[in-house]
Amino acid sequence: MSDTPPIAVVGTGTGVGKTVVTAGLTSWFRESGVDARAIKPAQTGFPPDDDAGFVAEACEDTEAATCLTYLEPPLAPRVAAERTDESLEYDALLEGCRRELERTPVSIVEGIGGLRVPLAGEHEVLDLIADLSAVAVVVTRSGLGTLNHTALTVDALERRGVDVHGIVCNEYEGASVAERTNPSELERMTGRPVETVPPLPSDDPRELAAGVRDALSDGFCERLTEN
């Protein structure tokens, strides 16, 4: 495995922007001359959902992202596999991720929903992140309610020995007092740096990834490979 630990982009729930942040980080590294690749352990809701395809399109390179398994129902992977009578084994997913990690100097593993989402058998997404010895970037919403969800997510990761590199508040507008104060409160509560990404007025994966790259500080990205 690479000397650089995998970077796990995890969310406080579904639809918080993990894929866009994954695309932004992957393209940032690749444009900086680093051979980075995104790994999606399991994709549900396929089609139309295809997070690895989104990242590949954002980076304009089919080699920029891969997905280990696709499931049609838009459900947690374990539930989706059970309903379609498909085999989905945790050990196979873990070994598949490790094989992909061997191929790339910097790997970015995108989670599925939140940390407690059932992945395969009795294992959850959190188990995979911990077993891969990844460092985590937590993606969360910016508005009211995010303090609790984000702090609990960080706590869950830290209890499993996962280093939390930082937090990204997605679609940050600063339109309310709660939103304007959330970044500093999250830093106080978790002791982790917080970055913000504004709403991005585009559906083009390349433009969305570029928007994330522009919003995240170079230091935040560079430090991801210093662990």
**Residues tagged active-site:** 40
* 198 in a labelled binding site: yes
* 200 in a labelled binding site: yes
* 15 in a labelled binding site: yes
* 17 in a labelled binding site: yes
* 154 in a labelled binding site: no
Picking from 28, 41, 35, the residue whose alpha carbon sits closest to that of residue 4 is: 35
Give one DSSP letter per residue of 163-211, joined into a string.
EEEEEEEES----SHHHHHHHHHHHHHH---EEEE-------HHHHHHH
Residue 145: which residues within 8 A CB-CB, separation 6 or more? none
In this structure, how many other beta carbons lie within 10 angstroms of the beta carbon of residue 205? 20
Measured distance CA(159)–CA(177) in Å, rounded:
31
* 112 in a labelled binding site: yes
Say if CB 224 and CB 9 are below 8 A apart: no
* 144 in a labelled binding site: no
* 19 in a labelled binding site: yes
**Which residue has tokens 């104060």?**
181
Burial class (CB in 10 A: 0-12, 13-18, 19+), 177: exposed
* 170 in a labelled binding site: yes
Q: Which residue ranges are tagged as binding site for substrate?
A: 44
Q: Which residue ranges are tagged as binding site for ATP?
A: 15-20, 51, 110-113, 170-171, 198-200
Q: Which residue ranges are tagged as binding site?
A: 15-20, 44, 51, 110-113, 170-171, 198-200
Q: Which residue ranges are tagged as binding site for Mg(2+)?
A: 19, 51, 110
